[in-house]
Amino acid sequence: QSALTQPASVSGSPGQSITISCTGTSSDVGTYNYVSWYQQHPGKAPKLIIYDVSNRPSGVSNRFSGSKSGNTASLTVSGLQAEDEADYYCRSYTSSSTLVFGGGTKLTVL
Amino acid sequence: EVHLLDSGGGLVQPGESLRLSCAASGFTFSSHAMSWVRQAPGKGLEWVSGISGSGVGGYYADSVKGRFIISRDNSKNMMYLQMNSLRAEDTAVYYCAKVAGSGWGQGTLVTVSS
């Protein structure tokens, strides 16, 4: 049950785009299209922003998009805004019928 | 609107037990798998345990297997986490969450310290 691998931090200027990667294995990300992404602001509960690799819940900005290739999923945030500064976590279903999160990525808007 | 209210956290000594509760509303509770996720101070999210909508079968992270027990009462729209033999490393904010779709509790703090 090793955590999925995410970069510790990424940054970008307002209006730019950034991509956060989430690398797993063939036992999780590589096999199942059950990858979700969560945004967490300090002191708040996580918020679902992408589910099933590339789907956005109602109300989530279309500036957030998700994709997957092999064992790596990715979250892209386009048109960066100050309010996007937060921690981002990926999550995958696994072959053991468990869930596993990534270590988290801190997004800084410069 | 989905609403999850987790409760039951507190300060306990190592080796003691604690039971967390999660009250659900705004969705058909029995149709949804649920989970417990924790976050140690200053750390990332860690999935702890999950349970199917019917309540048959619980799943656990290796770090809590054999010590924690997840359960649910669909007649009351409630989920529980019985935490036994608590350790200092179990100190965290514990969230209840829907496995699929949006829905997280506000979190309840568990502190294990002598």
The pLDDT tens digits for B94-111 are: 999 999 988 999 999 999
Q: Which two tokens stand for residue A97?
A: 């019928």
Q: Which residue of chain B comes nearest to A46, CA vs CA?
A: B104
Cβ pairs A/B, distance under 8 A: 51
What does the pLDDT read at residue A20? 98
Q: Does A24 touch chain B (CB under 8 A)?
A: no
Q: What region does A15 belong to: left with phi over 0, alpha with psi -120 to 50, or beta?
A: left
Read off the pLDDT of residues B13-28 as tens digits, 9 standing for 90 and up.
999 999 999 999 999 9
Q: Which amino acid is at B11?
A: L
What does the pLDDT read at residue B22? 98
What does the pLDDT read at residue A1? 72
Which residue intervals of B7-110 are DSSP H helices? none
Closest to A53 measured CA to CA, from A93, A100, A9, A1: A93
Read off the pLDDT of residues B54-92 as tens digits, 9 standing for 90 and up.
998 899 999 999 999 999 999 999 999 999 999 999 999
CB atoms within 10 A of CB B70: 22
What does the pLDDT read at residue B104? 96
- pLDDT tier at A90 (50, 70, 90 boundaries)? very high
Q: Which two tokens stand for residue A100?
A: 């596993």
What does the pLDDT read at residue B17? 98
From chain A residues 40-59, the ones with a CB under 8 A of any chain B CB are: 40, 45-48, 51, 57
